[in-house]
Amino acid sequence: MNGSANAAILSAAGIHKRFGALVVLDDIDFAMMADKAVGIVGPNGAGKTTLLSVLSGAFPPSAGTVAFKGGDVTAMPATQRCRLGLVRTHQVPKPFSGMTTFENVFVAASHGAGLARDEAYEEALASLKLCGMLGVANRRAETLGLLDRKRLELARALAARPTLLLLDEIGGGLTDGEASELVDTIKELRRRKIGIVWIEHIVHILLQVAERLICMDAGKIIADGEPQAVMADPEVVRAYLGGGPK
């Protein structure tokens, strides 16, 4: 899957998403190169998670197309997109509660990455180690606290061997120490050439990783570019602090 240097690995064109009368995504165009780290910020209700769900195939857009690795994947379900290398985590962790931490990750290694038994064991253990979860490998996921559930989301997605990882607020509620551990883990993924799209409210940890920042508000992209410039953009400031109707 080596496209030409300027071919986007993931692109979305004219994405609309409506839930009944509510327009959540309003004509989103987005494209990114492989092996890049893109951050997405925006106030609550901006449509960030909905965009991630459309990109990952959790549900289809009302209009528009999504392409991954050069092919149209708009109608492709999440299972197949995952197997192609486009993997997401969930904002509200969705562990397999009745299974152990290891088993959670093993499912992704054997099905998402399509690995045979022994390779899947190794992949699962490596993901757990990277996310600092070997110590809780035998605990049932329902007994894990919120921090470990968030780590499990990341470990499980990694075990599916993504080429592009979509992260949805995995840093929420972390202490400074925990957040810097998370940043170290993400930087390690960047060294492994895994592309990242990361939605996060905690901007300062996002800025340690993101090479490009997108700000969304009310279903639209209102700023897109170099992170510091985006954060200084008057539109972005207004979206966050409120400045009356535009």
If one asks whether residue 234 binds other proteins (CB under 8 A), the answer comes out as: no
DSSP string across 132-151: T-GGGTTSBGGG--HHHHHH
Shortest Cβ 180–other proteins spacing (Å)? 12
> Binding of other proteins at residue 76 (CB under 8 A)?
no
Does the footprint of other proteins cover residue 88 (CB under 8 A)?
yes
Q: Among residues 130 and 213, whose Cβ is nearest to other proteins?
A: 130
Dihedral over alpha carbons 103, 190, 15, 88 (to 10 degrees): 10
Give just the sign of the alpha carbon dihedral 106, 112, 113, 114. positive
| Under rule CB under 8 A, residue 204 binds other proteins | no
Distance CA 72, CA 225 (A): 25
Using an 8 Å Cβ cutoff, are 64 and 12 in contact? yes
Neighbouring residues of 88: CB distance < 8 A, sequence distance ≥ 6:
52, 53, 55, 56, 58, 78, 157, 165, 166, 167, 168
Given candidates 3, 14, 114, 173, which one binds other proteins under the rule CB under 8 A?
114
Does the protein bind other proteins through residue 224 (CB under 8 A)? no
Binding of other proteins at residue 154 (CB under 8 A)? no
Min dist. Cβ of residue 100 to other proteins (A): 7
**Which residues 26-45 are close enough to bind other proteins by CB under 8 A?**
none
Q: Which of 89, 101, 86 is nearest to 199 (CA)?
A: 89
Q: Does 135 bind other proteins (CB under 8 A)?
A: yes
Comparing CB distances to other proteins, the nearer of 9 and 87 is: 87
Q: Which of 37, 125, 209, 213 binds other proteins (CB under 8 A)?
A: 125
Check: CB of residue 167 under 8 Å from CB of residue 89: yes
Q: Which residues bind other proteins (CB under 8 A)?
A: 56, 58, 77-79, 82-83, 87-88, 90, 94-100, 102-104, 106-108, 110-114, 117, 120-122, 125-126, 129-130, 132-138, 141, 145, 147-148, 156-157, 159-160, 178, 181
